[in-house]
Structure formats: C-alpha cells, structure tokens
Amino acid sequence: MSEQARVRKAVLPVAGLGTRFLPASKAVAKELLPVLDRPVLQWVVEEALQAGIEEFVFVTSRGKEAIADHFDAHPLLEKTLERKGKQALLQAVRAATIEAGRAIFVRQDAPRGLGHAVLCARAAVGDEPFALLLPDMLMRGQPNCLAGMMQAYAAVGGNIIAVEEVPREEVNKYGVVALEDADAETPRITAMVEKPAVADAPSNLIISGRYILQPRIFTLLERTMPGAGGEIQLTDAMLAALDEGAPFHAYRFGGETFDCGSKLGFLQANVAFGLDDADVGTALATFIRQRLPQR
Ligand code: G1P
C-alpha cells in the first residue's frame, strides 16, 4: 500500500432546481424528499461519514436553506423527545446532525452545470484530494460505495471514479468511460465522454455519481468551456486531466444504485428500502403482492 494524501472532505452538489420533480420540488429541495424515513441526501451523507469523511461542502442555491437546517442540531426538538422518553426518535434526529463546524455551504449563482458546481467548492476544499457524491444517486451495499473507493484509493491513489453497467440504449443520459484492462480490480480509465450518442459511446459503463478527485481538477475546470447541454461538464475537465497524464481508475460498486433524480428510481428506492425495513417491510410486501395480479 502506498501513502496517499488523506481524503477528508466531501463535496455534495445540491443546487439543482429539481425540475424533474415538480411540483413536489417547488418549495422543498428535491434532495430532502424522503426515501423511507430520511431525505435522500441524508442517506448519502451517512455513506460519506461511514467512509471516513470529516467535512462536508454543500454547493447550494437560493431556496435550499432547509438543507442546512436539516443537518443542524435542533435543541428544542431533542429536549422534547428526551422529556417524552422517545429514545429511538431522539437517536434518529441526532443521526441527522453534522457536527458543528464540519458543514460548509457555498452558493452556486446559476445552474451552469456539474463542473461549475464543483468549481464553486474550490475555496472550501483547498489544495487536497476530495470525494464528490452526487446525491441523486442513492447507493446501498457493504462496503458502501465511497468506503470501497477509499480502499481502492489507498491502494492506487490518483483519481477514482465509480462506474457501473447500464443497458446500452441508456448511455446517452450519463458520462461514459472506456477501460484499459476491464478485468483488473481497479482498471485504468483511458477515455471519458459526457452524454454521448448511443452509437458513439465507448462502452456501456457509466460514471455513477461517486468520485475521488485530486485538486488539480479545479484549475482545469476554470478552463473548461461549456460542453454537452451547454453546461460546464466535470467529465470534460476530468478528460483534460487524463490528457495531462493524471491516473484515473474505475471502481465497480458491488451493491445497488437507485437514480433518485428520476421518478422511477426514486419510487424503486422507496420500495427496496421499505421492503427491507423491520417496521413496514412485511406489510408493504403484502400490499404489493395483492396489487400485482391486477397488472
Ligand atoms: C452527472 C455527470 C455524469 C454522470 C451522472 C450520474 O450528470 O455529469 O457524468 O454519469 O451525473 O448521475 P447529470 O445527472 O448531472 O446530468
């Protein structure tokens, strides 16, 4: 194992307007919509904490103030739950709190793309490697996705990108990678392209929303011109880093991924998490079984 600079910080881009979830997301940040009993974003923050992340940089925007409230301590609520002896709820509320001073909120002024959102985190991250977690992508498995990537990073260093296979006809919705030695444990990435046409995609391996990146990416993002969809694309800056010779390795996550940025993925996540829940799982399974013959 080689010595790598430790990954202490995570960037979470949460500035998006959530247009795919309107009208639900008109007044409530889409990242705060619940999967089972907590916001999607909290599941992702818990993944990062379990992976050893110590500081969070949320790239936010107007109207998303409730995100800061959600991760703040709530003394009045906690006192009330304590007085009523509601220990389990008290624990659940405390688990949603990020320690004082460990969450930084920076604003993105306009929706100019994921690359621009990441660039907004530059001053808060500084000159060290960082994790980037896209909160639309909810991931479940042991070790969790970022924890597995941290292990891969400890072994090979550089930049690590989580990838997964999707049906070929869906690649145009994602960033797509090509690999040098697909059978290796953490294969080298040789090419990346953002939202290619299905016919032009180098593979059906998509960038699935978890990254470990070196701070050089910020300088490259500054130079990145708008790309796919007229937005400043992180994938284009990563490609520029690759062209400079920076190593990029792929990490294949063994668990499940739910794209909660789409209605279907969000509902699937709720069903999957609900079925596995000790309180509601059995009743939910019965309900679904009763409904299915009507389909
Ligand atoms: C972003 C990235 C893309 C990645 C995707 C995963 O796209 O640019 O490379 O595959 O997230 O969800 P977006 O979903 O912001 O269009």
pTM, two decimals, is 0.95
Mutate which of 134, 193, 206, 221 to test ligand 1's pocket (most atoms within 8 Å of Cβ)? 134
Show the CA angle centred on residue 107, arms to residues 218 and 30, nearest 5°. Answer: 110
Any domain includes 1: no
66 domain residue, yes or no: yes
Same domain, 249 and 113: yes
The tens-digit pLDDT sequence of the chain (295 residues) is 457 899 999 999 999 988 889 998 999 999 999 999 999 999 999 999 999 999 999 999 999 999 999 999 999 999 999 999 999 999 999 989 999 999 999 999 999 999 999 999 999 999 999 999 999 999 999 999 999 999 999 999 999 999 999 999 999 999 999 999 888 889 999 999 999 999 999 999 999 999 999 999 999 999 999 999 999 999 999 999 999 999 999 999 999 999 999 999 999 999 999 999 999 999 999 999 999 877 7
123 and 68, same structural domain?
yes
Indicate which atom in ligand 1 lies nearest the CA of residue 206. Answer: 10
Residue 250 forms part of a structural domain: yes
**What are the Cα distances from residue 35, in Å, to 16, 203, 263, 275?**
19, 31, 12, 12
Same domain, 276 and 256: no
- Residues 251 and 266 grouped into a single domain: no
Do 153 and 269 have their domain in common?
no
Query: How close is the Cα of 113 to the center of ligand 1, in Å?
Result: 10
Give residue 236's pLDDT.
97
Cβ(115) – ligand 1 distance below 6 Å = no
pLDDT at residue 245 in the model: 97
Q: Output the residue whose Cα is nearest ligand 1's atom 1.
A: 174
* Contacts of residue 211, Cβ cutoff 8 Å, sequence gap at least 6: 131, 132, 133, 159, 160, 161, 162, 234
Residue whose CA is at the smallest distance from ligand 1 atom 13: 174
The alpha carbon of 175 and the centre of ligand 1 are apart by a number of angstroms equal to 6
Q: Is 117 in the pocket of ligand 1 (CB under 6 A)?
A: no
Residue 293 inside a domain? The answer is yes
The pLDDT score that the predictor gives to residue 2 is 53
pLDDT at 182: 80
Distance 103 CA to ligand 1 centre (A): 24
Pocket-testing residue among 17, 177, 207, ligand 1, by greatest number of atoms within 8 A of Cβ:
207
- Specify whether 17 is located in the same domain as 152: yes
Establish if 90 belongs to a structural domain: yes
**pLDDT, position 17:** 87
238 lines ligand 1 (CB under 6 A): no
Are 175 and 283 within one domain?
Answer: no
My answer on whether 60 and 82 are in the same domain is yes
Q: Which domain holds residue 290?
A: 262-295
Do 137 and 278 lie in a common domain? no
Is 294 within the bounds of a domain? Answer: yes
Looking from the CA of residue 234, the nearest atom of ligand 1 is 8
Say if residue 162 is in the same domain as residue 281: no
- Ligand 1 contacts CB of residue 206 (under 6 A): yes
Is the Cβ atom of 211 under 6 angstroms away from ligand 1? no
Any idea what the CATH number is for the domain that residue 129 is in?
A: 3.90.550.10
| 24 and 55 inside one domain | yes
The count of domains in the chain is 2
Q: Which atom of ligand 1 is nearest to the CA of 207?
A: 10
Residues 57 and 106 in one domain: yes
Go through 169-197 and write b for each residue having 16 or more CB atoms within 10 A of its CB, e for each that does not: eebeebbbbbbeeeeeebbbbeebbbbbe
The closest residue, in CA terms, to atom 5 on ligand 1 is 174
Q: Is residue 112 part of a domain?
A: yes
- The pLDDT value given to residue 293: 79
Establish if 198 belongs to a structural domain.
Answer: yes
